[in-house]
Structure 1
């Protein structure tokens, strides 16, 4: 088994990186025309720290990538802070993506071939060089589509004559982006997962995230991230955010397709406010408030704050119920408002 893993790793490195590792850190930097400190910092930002600069761990393809990056950075006049952010974002995203791809394929091989998890991992490693070109093309295409979609949304929001107040407020020190944010939290997650075996637990997590993402996307929102048993979503306007939140809360067992879980599986929050977007995440008081409101929500319900409720009060599609004030740690006394459909969702 060890020799098989060793062979698989060597073959994959050669296939993906254009040959085996031949260069140490100084040789890598020299071939790229850069200082060793720059090369070492690059790998650190990528999440691949250099533990032994004298070890021959780098390929000529690595040198080409470094040289091209440095040339583009110089041409565009990018400072160290910007370059660091760009490199770190690629490293963080691709680390997660690689793991996600690998684990998805392991699960596939276990189910397809009826083998154990360790055996499936070796099979995936052995087959990855054949699968990699298709995954790589999909990655590039997906990035292009996502960037085009992002710029399209920005054009609508910040185009001439549109939301000039947002620009003025941002210049005045306020957070730049008005957004609806919310969390969807799995009810009784700890108790439920304690009853599941490893394969059932993996199926539960994958199914919940897939179904929840489908619901968010279908209703016009976007998933920012998943955090343990919760999903953070965002929408560009409060009505879209309300549609997302209520659709998540009203999803029943069949919608979520979570085996062994009876009833509706999430409680949801919705808050309208200004946020800061960084590192593929969103930050701001509204995000913190949404997190706390989720803790207060009953299963299959959506809770809002008063500000968000005011923005929806005249919309005939929604109904509101003001709840009793309560003390919330770190935020003081809050008076949550429950959001509901004014009529059955099927009528929408």
Structure 2
């Protein structure tokens, strides 16, 4: 099959061309050679490679590694050898980094490929030589885009690193952080049934609008997004008051909108384990349970949140019947809304 036999498929490079262009060099080492050059035993090198999400070849003589792979192995093992990362956490660090970068790479490729696909679609009526020229142009643009994305990615990462460092209260040698935080979930009601009625473009627009608006409100409200999972956003804030304002402003942002379903939000306050960008602990489970039990357009909070908000005139709390949920006996809950005596102002 020739390249021309696949004119209907927007291909930019053969796989080998893509790898060489993005990695900046040809593969020249086998797995034994890369481990030897990095000064790492083969089993450890393969374990780290797989943890980062990269495939391995059963043939030990296959040449698939570069000098950059040697350097990467040296970097992570040096962090362990100098006690920056505990040996027991080495694979977890590699796995978390690999998962995060994999998702980012999938999005970035999608952005570039969308441009390439559009350019090729625009040239359907063009001659074969014109289509070849467009493919060549697309290859150049894709290659030139990578350094820009890399530079922007590094800037955003450093900004988030600075913000996360400022929020950290206590960091132990394993990289785990334990402190009391307010954890919240906000999800779109009826999302599952909605996905059956929407096409891909409409669903993409819905999720983009939800994530964009929610992220802006959370950031302006002095919180941070922990993760987005489809129709749901998980966020954290240093105080119950910040989390409460975020929750209520989220509802205000999506009230009376036909293009986005109603939201329901749950907030809990308590100690949480921060591990590799995620939060764990009963406070997370309580917030999730509150969210799933909240009615559309409402905010449910636990007793710890209610206690922290007591006496603050901007909020009104109504005690509700305890919830019977799995894992928690008679979970005390409160409905949260703005105090009608106060005109709520948007987060600055």
Report TM bin, short chain.
0.7 to 0.9
Q: Within 5 A, what are the aligned runs for 1:181-192?
A: 181-192=183-194
Contact 1:303 1:338 in 2 (8 A): yes
SS at match of 2:253: coil
Contact 2:207 2:230 in 1 (8 A): no
Give the drift of 1:283: 0.6
Identify the residue that residue 137 of structure 1 maps to in structure 2. Answer: 151
Distance 1:191 1:38, change over 3 A: same
For 2:242 and 2:67, the matched residues in 1 are separated by 49
Give the drift of 1:329: 3.1
Identify the residue that residue 74 of structure 2 maps to in structure 1. Answer: 67
1:267 corresponds to which of 240, 252, 264: 264
Distance 1:229 1:211, change over 3 A: same
Deviations 1:292-337 (A, max 9, x none): 1111111111101122111112000101112233422332323321
Moved more, 191-200 or 119-128: 119-128
Task: Report the structure, 1 or 2, having the larger helix content.
Answer: 1
2:319 corresponds to which of 315, 319, 322: 322
For 1:285 and 1:74, the matched residues in 2 are separated by 34
Give the drift of 1:30: 2.3
Q: Within 5 A, what are the aligned runs for 1:1-348?
A: 5=11, 7-52=13-58, 53-76=60-83, 78-107=85-114, 127-154=141-168, 157=169, 176-252=178-254, 261=259, 265-342=262-339, 343-346=342-345
Contact 1:181 1:270 in 2 (8 A): yes
Report the TM-score when normalising by structure 2. 0.82
Moved more, 82-91 or 119-128: 119-128
For 1:218 and 1:77, the matched residues in 2 are separated by 33
Distance 1:67 1:284, change over 3 A: closer
Identify the residue that residue 126 of structure 2 maps to in structure 1. Answer: none
Distance 1:125 1:141, change over 3 A: same
SS at match of 2:56: coil
SS at match of 1:273: strand
For 1:74 and 1:122, the matched residues in 2 are separated by 46
Identify the residue that residue 127 of structure 2 maps to in structure 1. Answer: none
Distance 1:68 1:310, change over 3 A: closer
Distance 1:222 1:111, change over 3 A: farther
SS at match of 1:345: coil
Which segments of 5 or more consecutive residues in structure 2 lack a partner in the other structure?
124-130
Give the drift of 1:279: 2.1
SS at match of 1:272: strand
Deviations 1:11-65 (A, max 9, x none): 3211222222222211222232332222211201111131323322212322233
SS at match of 1:7: coil
For 1:324 and 1:72, the matched residues in 2 are separated by 52
SS at match of 1:251: helix
Distance 1:235 1:77, change over 3 A: closer
Moved more, 103-112 or 322-331: 103-112
Report the TM-score when normalising by structure 1. 0.82
